[in-house]
Chains A and B, each alone.
Chain A
Amino acid sequence: MAKKTVVTAEINGNSTEFLCEPRQSLLEVLRDTLHLTGSKEGCNNGNCGACTVLLNGKPVLSCLVLGVEVEGAKIETVESLAQNGQLAPVQQCFLEGAALQCGICTPGFLVATKALLEKYPQPSEHDIRFHLANNLCRCTGYDKIVKAVQTVAAQ
């Protein structure tokens, strides 16, 4: 077994130190080591987007990032959205717009939407569909998700 490495990163605003093997993905570290289980393992090969997190502000698939790569980086997971028990507007709009069914894809959609609205505060439908194309949902048919994003952008 390759030597475990100590990695220090800022995760959801907290300086966090963890120990991981080079072969462990950031997703494994988040879920299994740090018990941040909001990021979901869907396909584990970069297709579904359920494990999306922000790495230095950019949306990435945490199943395609090695834990050892994030030394010194800033990571935001879906757990960073709600503050003091209050849902973030994006979460509220997904909930009220019924933009989810089974919910597995939702954390990834929420994190990608946060990044989208930071880049385009007033996104067109094309912007929304283009930037969320890497997030797959097998239940909703996407229209409710697009509408929820439009609603939060309008607020």
Chain B
Amino acid sequence: MKEAIDIARHVVGKVAEIPAGTRRMVVVEGRPIGVFNVNGTYYALKNSCPHQGAPLCLGTVTGMTLPSAPGEYNYGREGEIVRCPWHGWEFDIATGKSIFDPHKCLVKTYDVTVEAGEVPEVETYPVFVESGSVVVHV
């Protein structure tokens, strides 16, 4: 028997269907997953908050107040944070880790790749993007 766990690839949509700043909800092998495009990079998170099971990936995609001295507000990371639609807990979309306790409170992530379309008739970048597929590896 092979040692590696089977990782299956699942095409979840065309690149053009999930432009930057948007997301798509899918179910892969029975698992609800949110696929996010953050500034051109794709990430996939389990659509279930580790706290009480809310549909995390339906939450607000936003920025966050960065660590600061008392009385200071520094806002940043716009578009890189998803906030749970129930209790408002913040998660880093790229890592699935919560902001308040990244080591103990995190949501499962999945690898995402972009694969070329099957008929790459014109080898230019824009056409590649149009025809490529977003693939989640579960």
Do A and B interact? no
